[in-house]
């Protein structure tokens, strides 16, 4: 029933993004695509302009501002699933996230792609969400794709697409981490910038082909 690829929009800082990217890379066949937003403002823009099955919010980002973002999203988009990502060493953080309106809390220490996927399926099964949302509107979960070529089975094309998207996530996440550890005068800075630009351009092309 749930053969479509789930689109997840992520907001958070580099350590959490790297952890998410690694989880996806370890399970490339899991039908998930996670896209990173660069700021809370960018998250709201992408959420309004795109089609997303869920949000993943790093609760630790920007001195725990993630909790306020979860609350804001829940107010403006009451039906979309919100996954709160947290480290257990911060006491009561996941309880606070649930109070703020998080649909599910996932530990970054034990995070796997299967955890994301299973949680999404559970939420759908429990009828806590209906479909993709655009500005709170109901959207169709699995639209037909007329561009699919019968010579290439859908599951093979999806597997290839998942692998490429996960690869781009890993490249981008590691480039962000490298950039944080380089001085502005370091010759490698230019190379990192070029890697990030290339990964971003490739990701845009992939989204246009979907």
Lowest mean pLDDT among 9-23, 63-77, 113-127, 189-203: 189-203
pTM, entire model: 0.61
- Find the length of the chain: 210
User: Which neighbouring-strand residues pair with 54?
Assistant: 8
Q: What value does the mean pLDDT take over residues 10-37?
A: 93
More confident residue, 16 or 150: 16
User: Which neighbouring-strand residues pair with 107?
Assistant: 86
Q: What value does the mean pLDDT take over residues 89-103?
A: 89
pLDDT at 140 over 50: no
Q: Confidence band (pLDDT; 50, 70, 90) for 154?
A: low
* DSSP classification of residue 5: P
* CA–CA distance, 24 with 32 (Å, rounded to integer): 8
Residue 173 contacts residue 58 (beta carbons within 8 Å)? no
Burial class (CB in 10 A: 0-12, 13-18, 19+), 30: buried
Q: Confidence band (pLDDT; 50, 70, 90) for 204?
A: low
SS3 9: strand
Residue 16 contacts residue 59 (beta carbons within 8 Å)? no
* CA–CA distance, 107 with 127 (Å, rounded to integer): 23
* CA–CA distance, 79 with 131 (Å, rounded to integer): 8
Segments making up each domain of the chain, as ranges: 6-138, 154-209
- The CATH class of 6-138 is alpha beta
Task: At 175, give phi and psi (nearest 5°).
Answer: -65, -40
pLDDT at 1 over 50: no
Find the radius of gyration of the CA atoms of the chain.
17
SS3 112: coil
More confident residue, 158 or 22: 22
Nearest alpha-carbon partner for 58 in 69, 74, 47: 69
Model pLDDT, residue 51: 84
* CA–CA distance, 147 with 189 (Å, rounded to integer): 40
Residue 81 contacts residue 133 (beta carbons within 8 Å)? no
Beta carbons within 10 angstroms of residue 198's beta carbon:
14
Lowest mean pLDDT among 35-49, 50-64, 81-95, 115-129: 115-129
SS3 28: coil
Model pLDDT, residue 185: 67
Residue 136 contacts residue 78 (beta carbons within 8 Å)? yes
Q: What value does the mean pLDDT take over residues 147-153?
A: 48
């Amino acid at each position: 029933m749930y053969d479509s690829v789930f689109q997840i929009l992520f907001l958070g800082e580099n350590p959490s993004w790297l952890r998410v990217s690694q989880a996806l890379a370890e399970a490339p066949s899991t039908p998930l695509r996670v896209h990173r937003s660069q700021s809370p403002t960018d998250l709201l823009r992408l959420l309004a302009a795109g089609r997303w099955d869920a949000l993943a919010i790093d609760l630790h980002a920007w001195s725990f501002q993630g909790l306020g973002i979860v609350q804001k999203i829940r107010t403006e988009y009451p039906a979309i699933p919100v996954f709160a990502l947290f480290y257990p060493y911060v006491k009561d953080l996941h309880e606070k996230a649930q109070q703020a309106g998080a649909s599910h809390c996932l530990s970054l220490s034990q995070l796997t792609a299967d955890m994301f996927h299973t949680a999404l399926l559970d939420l759908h099964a429990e009828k806590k969400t209906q479909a993709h949302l655009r500005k709170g509107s109901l959207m169709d979960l699995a639209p037909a794709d007329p561009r699919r070529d019968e010579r290439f089975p859908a599951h093979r094309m999806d597997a290839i697409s998942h692998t490429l998207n996960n690869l781009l996530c890993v490249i981008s996440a590691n480039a962000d981490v490298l950039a944080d550890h380089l001085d502005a005068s370091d010759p490698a800075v230019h190379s990192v910038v070029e890697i990030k630009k290339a990964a971003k351009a490739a990701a845009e092309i992939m989204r246009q082909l979907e």
